Chains A and B, each alone.
Chain A
Amino acid sequence: MLISGPVKILKIDGVSSQDSLLLIYYPKIEKVKNDSGLVGASLKVISSLRQELINLFSKTLPTPASSLLMGIIFGIKEQMPKDFSDNLKTTGVFHVIAASGMNVTLVGGFISAFFAFFLKRQIAIILSIIGIIFYAVLAGLEASIIRASIMGVLVFSSQIMGRQSLAVNGLALAGFAMLFIDPSLIFDIGFQLSFAATLGLVYIRPLFERRQRTDSRIDILEKKKPNMFTVGIGGDISTTISAQIITMPILLANFGTYSIYSILVNGIVLWTVPILMIVGGVGAILGLILEPLGKLLIYLCYPLLLYFESVVRFFGTMGGIIAIQSLSFEFIAGYYCLLASVLILFRKK
C-alpha cells in the first residue's frame, strides 16, 4: 500500500519538532503490488467504474444532492461535504448512506427479475448472487454491506436449493464468518450497529405489527423490501424505533449524543430511499451506456433529494441533541438484560 499526498507539519506548543504531528492532505492511496489474475482485474474494473459513477453524478446534480444520491445508491461517502454529513448525523439518518440490506435486496431482486425473462431461473439467481458480490465491492466493502451481502447470498442460494432461509441464522452465519476472518471487527462500530440493527428488525419489529407472524421466521430481506404504499411512513417509524431500541447504547457509548427528532426525521424521509435507489440506480446503469438518458433519470431523483435535503437541513439547525457524558458498563449490561427479558416475555405469548 502506498499513501501519497502533500504533508503538513502540525506545530503543537510544548512538543519538540521531532515529535510533531504530520497531517496529510488529499491522501492518495494506491495498492503497490497489483494483483494479477481475475480478482485483480475485476477490482481494477470496479474501481474505475466507481470513479465513472462519481463523475456522472457530480456532473449532473448540485451538491449535496449528488452526494446524497451516491450515498443512498452505492454507499459512496467520500464526495459528501462535511457540513451536510454532520447534518445527517445530528438528525439520525446517516445510516441511509451506508449500503446495506435494502440495497442488496434491490440489486439481487432487480438482476434476477431482469434475467428471468430470458434465462433459466437458477441461472438468473446465480447471476444475481454475482451481482450482489460485485455491488458489495463497488460499495466499498464496509461491515454493513458485507453482512447484508452474506445474508442476501444465503437467501438467493436457498432459493436455488428450494430451502427456506431464516434471517437470524443468516445473520449468525454472517457474523461468524466475518469475525472468523477478522476478529478485530467486533470493535468496529459499523459492524456492531449493523448486527444490532438487524437483530432489532428480526426480534423487535414484529412486536409492532398487529397481526403477529409466526415467530422470527421472517425473512429479513423480504421484510425490508420497498413496500412504500402498504406500510409507508408507519412502517418506517416502527423500523426506526426497532433499530434504535437495540442500537441506542452503542450509539450513546460511542458518540454520546442522541437526536430527539431522529424518529420523526426517519419517518418523513425514509420512504424516498427505495424510490431513489431504483430510479437513481437505473439512471446510473443507463448513464454509463447512454449518458443523456441516465442523466434524465438522475434529474428525476432531484425533487426527492431536494425534499430529503431540506428536511435534514431544517432539523439539523433545530438542534434537539441530548448529550450524555459517560455511559457505564453496568448500565449497558442492565439495559440489554432488560431488553432481552422483555423480548422473551413477549415471544412466549
Chain B
Amino acid sequence: MIHSTKLKIFLIGPTLLFLLACILIYQNITYNDKKLRVVICDVGQGDAIFIRTPQGSDILIDSGPDDSVLSCLGRHMPFWDKTLEIAILTHPDADHVTGFIDVIKRYKLISFYTSKVEAKTTVYNQFLKTLKDYKIKQNFLWQGDRFTFEDDLTMETLWPTEYWSGATTNSFSTTELSSYKSFKVLLTGDLDAEQMEHVTNLAGDIDFLKVPHHGSRFSLTEEILETLSPEMAVISVGKNSYGHPTPFILNLLKSKNIKTLRTDQNGEIEIISDGRTWKIK
C-alpha cells in the first residue's frame, strides 16, 4: 500500500512545487510594490502594530496580550521572511509586551528598542529572561531619535524625553511618528493627554492616528485633535473591564468628523500608502 503512496508523492511533489512557486512569485510581487504598510493587528485588549517599509524591512511595535500577534505577522510577511529588522516595546505593560515572548522564539530580531522604564510584573520578567536567553540587547529611544529608511521614509521618536519622570509606565510610552513622503502616521502607545500635548506640537498635522491608551477617558482632548486633525483614527481595543473605549473619546472623534475604526469591531486594520495617497484594506 505504501508503494502506491510513494508513486503518488511523485505526482504530488511537482504539483506542490508548482503551487509553492506561484505563492513565491505572488508574494514577491505584492510585498515589493514599494508601498508602506501599517497594520493594526487585532490582538484583543492591547496593542500590536506591524509596519512593512517599501523596501521590505519589518517593524513590530508592541506585541499584544497573548500570542495572537504571531498570526498577524504570518499574514503580513512573506512566508520565507522570519526576520524583524526593528522591534519596539513602547512600555512594559502586559497588554503590550506579552506577545514578544513568543515572537522572540520564532523570529530573528535584528534590533530591539524600548522606553527606559521597568515594570515589576511577572510577564515582564519572563520577557526580560527571554531577551537574555536569545542574547538580544535592549536599546532605548528618546525624543529626537530618528530611523531613516530609503525612499524618504523616516520614523521619529516624539516621546519620552530624557528628563521625563512620570508616575506611570504608560506615561513613558515610546511614541513614533512615521512619515512616508507626505503621509504621516502617529503611533502613541498608552500616553495620556498630558504627554500627548507635548507630542502633538511636534507632530503637527497628521493623516492617521492610533488613539492612545485604547481610547481611555484621559487619552485625548479637543485641542489635541484639532492640532493633529487626522483623517482617520484607530482604536486598538478588545474586551476589557476598564470601559475602553470611553464614550467621551468616541464622541470627541465623532464631533471632529474623524472616521474611527476599532479592532474589536473591524478586526485588523491595514493601511497601504505610496507616500501621497493611502487606503484602508
Binding site for B on A (CB under 8 A): 6-8, 25-26, 58-66, 81-84, 109-110, 112-113, 222, 225-226, 228-229, 275, 278-279, 299-304, 306
Contact in complex: B68, A82 (CB < 8 Å): yes
**Per-position 1/0 for B71-107, Cβ under 8 A of A:** 1011101011010000000000000000001000110
Q: Report the interface size class on chain B.
A: 35 or more
Given contacts A25-B126, A81-B68, contact A62 B74 (CB under 8 A): yes
Contact B106 A58 (CB under 8 A): yes
Q: Which single member of B17, B75, B123 contacts A6 (CB below 8 Å)?
A: B123
Residues of the A chain whose Cβ atoms lie less than 8 Å from the Cβ of B126: 6, 25-26
Shortest CB-to-CB span from B80 to chain A, Å, is: 8
A43 to B106 CA separation, bound complex (whole angstroms): 25
Whole-angstrom CA separation of A304 from B8 in the bound complex:
16
In the assembled complex, which residues on chain A have CB atoms less than 8 Å from the CB atom of B266? none
Q: Is B82 within 8 A of A300, CB to CB?
A: no
Q: Are the C-beta atoms of B77 and A83 separated by less than 8 Å?
A: no
Chain A residues with CB under 8 Å of B66's CB are: 81-82
**Which residues of chain A are within 8 angstroms of B82 by Cβ–Cβ distance?**
59-60, 62
Given contacts A25-B123, A299-B20, contact A61 B79 (CB under 8 A): yes
Given A6-B123, A6-B126, verify A302-B71 contact (CB < 8 Å).
no
Is the beta-carbon distance between B71 and A63 smaller than 8 angstroms? yes
A81 → B minimal CB distance (Å)? 5
Contact, CB under 8 Å: B67 / A62: no
Distance in Å from the Cβ of A226 to the closest Cβ of chain B?
Answer: 6
CB of A84 within 8 A of CB of B71, answer: yes
Q: Complex Cα distance A275/B73, Å?
A: 26
Q: Which of A113, A222, A275, A278 contacts B3 (CB 8 A)?
A: A113
A300 to B9, CA, bound (A): 12
Closest 9 CB pairs of A and B: A6-B122, A62-B74, A303-B19, A63-B70, A113-B2, A300-B16, A58-B106, A83-B68, A63-B74
Query: Among the listed A7, A59, A300, which residue makes an inter-chain contact with B13, where contact means beta carbons less than 8 Å apart?
Result: A300
**B167 contacts the other chain (CB 8 A):** no
Contact, CB under 8 Å: B79 / A26: no
CB of B12 within 8 A of chain A?
A: yes
Tell me the chain B residues, 1-33 only, with Cβ under 8 Å from chain A: 1-3, 5-6, 8-9, 12-13, 16-17, 19-20, 22-23
Nearest opposing residue in chain B for A87, CB measure:
B71
* A84 CA / B70 CA spacing, docked (Å): 10
Q: Is the CB of B74 within 8 A of A6?
A: no
- Which residues of B have CB within 8 Å of A304? 16, 19
Q: Are A110 and B68 in contact (CB under 8 A)?
A: no
Per the bound structure, the CA–CA distance linking A140 and B122 in Å amounts to 28
- How long is the Cα–Cα vector from A178 to B12 in the complex, in angstroms? 38
Q: How far is the CB of B278 from chain A (nearest CB, A)?
A: 26
Contacts of A84 in B (CB 8 A): 71
A residues less than 8 Å from B5 (CB atoms): 109, 225-226, 278
Bound CA span A8–B123, Å: 9
| Most chain A CB within a 10 A radius of its CB, from B20, B74, B82 | B74
